[in-house]
Structure 1
Amino acid sequence: MLKMKAKTLVCSGILLFACALPAARAQLAGIQPLGSTVEENNDLLHGWSVRKALVNEPVYNDNNDKVGSIYDLIIAPDRKATYAVLSVGGFLGMGIHYVAIPVDHFEIRNGNLFLAGATKDALKRVPEFEYNKLEKATKPSKVSSQ
């Protein structure tokens, strides 16, 4: 009788645990479509991440000298990437100079980003890029699908 109660208790615990799992899985991105269709979600999973593909990637000049790294991308209201913000120079996060360069100035060669004619010194002479102080106020309040 005691063995039967123990088995019932164990089985009940397993069932409660198993019933709780789907609810936990529903919170994982990519499993439950949150505001998108299954097809859109599949496209998302096969897409690429700007953060992983571009941010902190080195930028080289024609002499294969590293002249900076991608720090950020600026997206225009028409949803197109218009400028890349480069971090130039600096050591351990000190003295970094940020410059905005139009994205059409970059080339991709053998999987690397190139900025023709650029040098660290020339980029440091470019006026420093500063983010809009009213950035939060100017963000689009609603993303519409087109």
Structure 2
Amino acid sequence: MIQRPITQFVAALIAASAMSVATGAAAQGAPQSVTQTRVDVVHMGAGFRASKLTGATVYNRDKDRIGTIDDLILSPSEQNAFAILSVGGFLGMGKHYVAVPFNSLQISDKQIVLPDATKQSIEALPEFKYAPD
């Protein structure tokens, strides 16, 4: 006896889902448009996962430690990416953040290098502050 109402409910749910897709209905009542893009997985495989870069140590050409990657920021209007480096300080005290263009970093052999940087030149950059949420 219960089988028939459950079957009817599932059928109604499937029909409603199909209608919302067919009519363009979307979450929160706003129409959504989705553009499909074919991704070359071989090319994507050569990229870097943000989760693996965050917290990584950044060195200069002389293998001096100059900071760590705290965050990555993507600029939608300029199509640029920036690495936010945590620099200076000792044991978390006195550190501050600076932004450097992501493309200025060289990543190879699981090491991140900002070739011409020194601790002093990086610490002299203007402090980066996150915008309030």
CA distance in 1, matches of 2:127, 2:79: 22
CA distance in 2, matches of 1:90, 1:105: 23
How does 1:130-145 map onto structure 2 within 5 Å?
A: 130-133=129-132, 136=133
How does 1:1-146 map onto structure 2 within 5 Å?
A: 49-51=49-51, 53-77=52-76, 82-133=81-132, 136=133
Identical positions, percent: 42
In the TM superposition, residue 66 of structure 1 has moved relative to its aligned partner by 0.8
2:99 is paired with a residue of what secondary structure? strand
CA distance in 2, matches of 1:78, 1:127: 22
Gaps of 5+ in 2: 1-40
* Count of residues paired in the alignment: 89
Gaps of 5+ in 1: 1-42, 137-146
TM-score, length basis structure 2: 0.59
**Root-mean-square deviation (Å):** 2.4
State the Cα deviation string for residues 83-139 of structure 1 (Å, max 9, x = none). 000001211211002100001101113220100110111111101001113xx3xxx
Q: Residues 72 and 101 from structure 1, CA distance in 2 versus in 1: closer, same or farther, beyond 3 angstroms?
A: same
CA distance in 2, matches of 1:60, 1:130: 22
TM-score, length basis structure 1: 0.54
CA distance in 1, matches of 2:98, 2:110: 22
